[in-house]
């Protein structure tokens, strides 16, 4: 029995996916989540074999959630199920260590097959995603539009996420239970590491790196 966690910010989609997956005797839906932060917490509690993850969600989106799940729970596989087909999103998600990527127009059989594949340790890409990756390789399209998130520590990424969300220094300090000076120091460190010196530039970077909702 494969344990599956479903993550999507639309309840009707979650219920449809739950019904679809539950039709198969070898698959068990152990939980559902509507945002990235909840997905991480449920992964920690339930230890699913596969997380079926949307990308565009409020709060922490699927890119950052996938990055953290892959890092913290190496035995859990993440299968992206999204409407996002733009190359920059696909490449960024694959950089996080996601084990598969499907578009939401896939068939029921393909989704179930993909869940089984990634659970068995095999990568799975939908036909359109595979075509995109091959085309990018053949055309040698440079991937210089994405900046590496590894410049920042986990706490710095969390601070950056709140800055991009429009939170003030005081609000961020309260959220983490630290002093204003601590947050100011961390913000200065973020700016210095990224060579970005305005909130607008930081926000643009955060969106590009998947640290904020995409829309």
Contact 69, 25 (CB under 8 A): no
Read off the pLDDT of residues 6-65 as tens digits, 9 standing for 90 and up. 999 999 999 999 999 999 999 999 999 999 999 999 999 999 999 999 998 888 889 899
- Structural domains of the chain, with CATH: 2-139 (3.40.50.2300), 149-208 (1.10.10.10)
Q: In DSSP terms, which residues pair with 80 in a beta bridge? A: 53, 101
Q: Which residues contact 137 (CB under 8 A, 6 or more apart)?
A: none
The Cα 159–Cα 208 span in angstroms is 16
Q: Stretch 78-100: mean pLDDT, rounded? A: 86
Read off the pLDDT of residues 98-156 as tens digits, 9 standing for 90 and up. 999 999 999 999 999 999 999 998 989 888 888 877 776 666 544 544 444 557 787 88
Contact 49, 29 (CB under 8 A): no
Collapsing DSSP states into helix, strand and coil, what is residue 29?
strand
Read off the pLDDT of residues 174-198 as tens digits, 9 standing for 90 and up. 989 999 999 999 998 998 888 887 8
Top pLDDT among 106 and 88 is at 106
Top pLDDT among 205 and 215 is at 205
Contact 82, 62 (CB under 8 A): yes
């Amino acid at each position: 029995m494969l344990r599956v966690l479903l993550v999507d910010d639309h309840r009707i989609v979650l219920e449809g996916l739950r019904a679809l997956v539950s039709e198969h005797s070898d698959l068990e839906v152990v939980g559902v989540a509507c945002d990235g932060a909840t997905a991480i917490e449920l992964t920690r509690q339930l230890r699913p074999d596969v997380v079926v993850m949307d990308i565009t969600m409020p709060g922490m989106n699927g890119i950052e959630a996938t990055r953290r799940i892959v890092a913290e729970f190496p035995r859990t596989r993440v299968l992206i199920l999204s409407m996002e087909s733009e190359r920059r999103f696909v490449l960024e998600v694959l950089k996080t260590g996601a084990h598969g990527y499907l578009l939401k127009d896939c068939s029921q059989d393909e989704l179930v097959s993909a869940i089984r594949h990634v659970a068995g340790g095999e990568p799975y890409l939908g036909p359109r995603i595979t075509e995109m990756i091959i085309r990018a390789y053949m055309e040698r399209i440079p991937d210089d539009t994405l900046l590496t998130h590894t410049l920042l520590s986990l706490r710095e990424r969390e601070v950056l996420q709140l800055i991009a969300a429009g939170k003030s220094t005081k609000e961020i300090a309260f959220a983490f239970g630290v002093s204003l000076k601590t947050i100011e120091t961390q913000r200065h460190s973020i700016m210095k590491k990224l060579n970005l010196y305005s909130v607008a530039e930081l926000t643009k970077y955060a969106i590009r790196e998947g640290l904020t909702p995409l829309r």
